[in-house]
Amino acid sequence: MVPKDLRSFIEVLEQHGELVRVREEVDWNLEVGGILRRIYDLGAPAALFEKIKGYPSGMRILGAPMGRGRRSVYSRHALALGLSPEAGYGEIVRAYVERKNRPFKPKRVATGPCKEVILRGDEVDLFKFPVPFIHEGDGGRYLGTWHTVVSRDPVEGWVNWGMYRMMVHDRNNTGMLIPPIQHMGRMYQKAEAMGKPLECAVAIGTDPASVIVSCAMLPDRVEEVDIAGGLLGEPVELVKCETVDLEVPASSEIVLEGYVPAGERRSEGPFGEYMGYEAGRSGARPVFHVTCVTHRKDPILTVSNMGMPIHESQVVMGITMAGDIYDELIKLGLPIKMAYMPPYGVTHMIAISTDTPYMNFAKRVAHAVWGTKAGSMVYYVIVCDSDIDVTNFNEVIHAISTKCHPVRGIHQVPHAPSYAYMVPFLDAKERPIGDGAYILLDCTWPKDWPKEALPVKSSFDVLWPKEIRDKVLSNWQRYGFPEG
C-alpha cells in the first residue's frame, strides 16, 4: 500500500524498523542537524523528534525521512512507493517509470487536514515552527529543505512543483534559491520582466509521492501533481489556498502562502548543499513574502540535512532523474538496458548500459542524455555495453579501466549549461553564468573491431561451460561453503 500522507508514511517506516522516536529533548540549534548527519553516515533509521527545546509539546520534526535505509540505500524510497524495503534499484526505477506513465489528474476537495489552523497577516510567525539551524556556517535557519514549492507560469498558466531551499529572514519572509535553469526560476524571470510578483505556496510534510515528484526533473509543461497521482495510483487531493490562486495537497502538515515580488533581493546562504560542500555561498536572492500559514494541529516539520552523501537528494533524485532519463531514451528508440546514478555521484554522474548498434553510438546516448531536462545536471556520462551491470559500480570501474581508451574513449564538451551558483568545480567566472562542461566516458567495444578481436571476459558465466557452472552451484554447500 502506497502511503497517502506523511503520518501513514511514518507508520510504515516504524513498522519496518526505519524510524526512531526521539523523546529526549533536542536543540534546534545544530543538535538536530548533527544527529541527522550521523544518521546519514551510519544508515540509521529516520528520526521523529518529539521534544524540541523552546517549543511546546506537539511541535515535531521528522528528519532524514527518505535517507539511506537500513537494508539498502533505497529502502525508504521503496517503502514510499509501497514496495518491499528489500526492493532493488532496478525494481524501484521500473516501478517509478511505469507509474509516471500512468498519471492521474488531481481531485479538488473543499478542505483538508492542512486547514485545521489558519493564520493570516500579523498572525504569521515562521518561528512558531522549530526551524533548525542545520550546519555551522549556514546563513540562517532553513525552513525549506524537504518540501514542495508550487508556482504557476505567468504566461502559459501551467503549474510547477519543485524544491527550492528556503532560509528564514524574519517572522514572515524567507530567502529562496531559484536558479534560472529550473522551472520556477524561469517563471520568476517572466514575472519579473512583467513587473509582477510570482505567487507561491509551500507545502511541507506531504505524502511521499508529492515530495518525490518535487525532486524530479520533468520536462516543461508536465505537471508534477499528475505524476504524483501516478505514483500514488490515485488522484492527489488538493485544496485551494486562502490568499493566493494556487492549490496544495490537502494532507500537508504545513502550508505557507505568499508571493515573490519583482526586483527585491536579500542576502541568502550559505548552506551545506547536496554535493557535500558549502558551495552555494551567500548572495542577493529573491524574497518570499508569507501572507498566510495553514497547518495541522501538532504539525510535523520535515527536514533533510544536505551534505556529504548519502541523504535524500542522492536517494530520491538519483531514482527519479535516472528513471526520467531512462524513460526518455527508451522513448527515443535507443536500446538502453539500465540507467544508474550512483549516490556518491550526487546526481551529476550517470552510468548507462546499452546495446551498441553502430559506430560512435555512445556519443548518441550521451547527447540524448544531455538533451533531457534531468540530463542538464549530469556532467559525467558513462556508457557501457549491455553485459555490464551498471548498478554494480565495481563492474563500472572495471569497464572504465579496461574498455575506455584514455584518449579516444573520453569526449569533452566545453561550455555546457551548468547548475549555476552551487557546482564546486566551477571557477569564479563560470559560476555566476553557469558556464560548465560535460564529459563522456565511452566504455563500449568499437563496432569496427572484428568479433575475434574482442577480448573475452574472464568471468564465471563466460569461461566455464554451463554444465560445470550448474555443478559448482548445486554442490556449493556440499563443498563446505555457506549459501551465497
Residue 312: active-site member:
no
| CA 414/CA 421 separation, integer angstroms | 18
Q: What type of residue sits at position 170?
A: D
Per-state percent for the chain, helix, strand, coil, to nearest 5 = 30, 25, 45
- Sign (positive or negative) of CA dihedral 269, 275, 277, 281: negative
For the chain, state the CA radius of gyration: 24
Q: Which helix (H) or strand (E) holds 254?
A: strand 254-260
Indicate left, alpha or beta for 319 from its phi (over 0: left) and psi (-120 to 50: alpha). Answer: alpha
CB 177 within 8 A of CB 269: yes
Place of cell 548527519: 37
**Number of residues assigned to the chain:** 484
Helix 361-370 crosses helix 318-331 at what angle (to 10 degrees)? 120
Where does residue 221 fall: left (phi above 0), alpha (psi -120 to 50 degrees), or beta otherwise?
left
Q: What is the largest distance, in Å, between two alpha-carbon atoms of the chain? A: 78
Q: Select which of 199, 247, 273, 312 is catalytic.
A: 273
* Omega within 30 of 0 (cis) for the link into 310: yes
Contact 339, 322 (CB under 8 A): yes
**Secondary structure string (H, E, C) spanning 96-139:** HHHHHCCCCCCEECCCCHHHCEEEEHHHCCHHHCCCCECCCCCC
What is 38-80 written as a DSSP string? HHHHHTPPEEEE--BTTS-TT-EEEESTTSS-SSSTTHHHHHH
Please give the helix or strand (H or E) that residue 215 lies within, else none. helix 208-215
Cα 67 to Cα 13: distance, rounded to the nearest angstrom:
12
Catalytic (active-site) positions? 273
